[in-house]
A and B are shown apart, each in its own frame.
Chain A
Amino acid sequence: MAEVDSGPVEPQARHIVYCGVCTLPPEYCEFGGTAKKCEDWLKEKHSDLWEGLYSTDAVTANLSTLSVSAQERAAKDAAKKEAKAAQSEARDAEKKAASKVLIKRVERNKRKYVTVLLGLEVFGLENKKIAKDLGKKFATGSSMTRSPAGAEEITVQGDVSDDVREWLLEVHGDKVPAANIELIEDKKKKKTEGAV
């Protein structure tokens, strides 16, 4: 069948730049709680947009529409929000530094092992996806399971702990520092900690 020329060209969707820090459209960054960082980001990545939003003209034009008391209130609110955001970020970073990714070798049967990964989600990795990737990488069964306590863990069949460590550093090295990965051997009866 001959291709029929479609008549008028379809109207195109607009593509908007979203802030890389707070994900809002840049003009709403001031309400996102990370205004300073957003501004820096925008200046670096999209200087033309930055010009339109943060030049002194634009700022004064924005402020003039509000009454003084409302302005004060808004500023106070923004400061509070910013402090909160900074605090939560600091807490996050601390948590990240303190927590570890555990790679456990668990004995199943005399000579059979499974590898269990714990604590990946703290570093912004999604367990389910990692499990899938690991399964593909090592051509073994790999799944995300929820332990009774509610913690998520990845179980990879076979003893691949060293390889997993290597793979993690290679693929997600930007997220997981090497110092935070720990290998553990888990005997069937009693837990013994030690280097593998």
Chain B
Amino acid sequence: MFKKEIPSSNRSKVKSSVQRGLRQKLLETYPGFEPYIEEIMPKKASLEVVKLPERTTLYTIDSTPLFFQPFDGPPIPHLKLVHAYPTALPTIQIDRGAIRFVLSGAALMAPGLTSPGGRLPDSEHALEAGSVVAVKAEGKEEVCLVGTLKQGTEEMKSKGKGVVMDEGHFLGDGLWRMQLD
């Protein structure tokens, strides 16, 4: 989604009522952030919104990126936020061979997850298509990709091929490199 460099664009403050609504929405989408919300988004802090290409908006507080929200989807946390609170999102893992493709912006494919180095949640904690997940890599501690699943985890296990996530925010992409001050 952000393969290209993002030109710096206008920033504007968000109305506090909108901010409240957004906060509510975040907690709904990500119950995992519940314990941290005060720290991430203090009630007093003034949220700013930055317009990104493709009708995406980015929410920041004091030049710290928090979430970006595509026009038609749920807000997705910025990788720096995921790094700070790694437990807030459900996580899947890719094998080592897939890392270099992911970091150059390729779509995430199922074999990278179903192979021995990958990890998917068991059937009890299966994730549906459309849920936002963080993707870790084999042998690494940090998350390298975050985005919306296009396939449920159970489907991946049974089919074992196809695109799993095609528009994610990965380490080193335009959004990651964006200067926000």
Contacts and interface: CB of A to CB of B under 8 A. Distances in A.
A12 B85 CA distance: 9
A24 B84 contact: no
Nearest to A6: B38
B39 interface: yes
B85 A65 contact: no
B81 to A, nearest CB: 9
Interface stretch (A13-21, A131-139, A186-194): A13-21
Contact of B172 (A14, A23, A78): A23
A16 B36 contact: no
Nearest to B139: A62
A25 to B, nearest CB: 4
Contacts of B39: 10-13
Contacts of A24: 171-172
B180 to A, nearest CB: 12
Interface stretch (A27-35, A102-110, A157-165): A27-35
B144 A28 contact: yes
A98 interface: no
A66 B140 contact: no
A149 interface: no
A31 B137 CA distance: 12
Contacts of A11: 35-36, 39
A77 interface: yes
B152 interface: no
A90 interface: no
B30 interface: no
A126 B9 CA distance: 13
Q: Is the interface of A mostly helix, strand, loop or mixed?
A: loop
A24 to B, nearest CB: 5
Contacts, number: 64
B54 interface: no
A22 interface: yes
Given A14-B84, A28-B144, A65-B139, A74 B97 contact: yes
A77 B38 CA distance: 43
A70 interface: yes
A16 B39 CA distance: 16
Interface string B79-98: 00001111000000001110
A18 to B, nearest CB: 8
Interface in B119-161: 137-142, 144
Interface of B: 8, 35-36, 38-40, 83-86, 95-97, 99-100, 103, 117, 137-142, 144, 171-172, 176-177
Q: Give 10 nearest A-B pairs by CB, closest first.
A: A13-B84, A25-B142, A31-B103, A27-B140, A16-B83, A24-B171, A70-B97, A14-B84, A31-B100, A65-B96
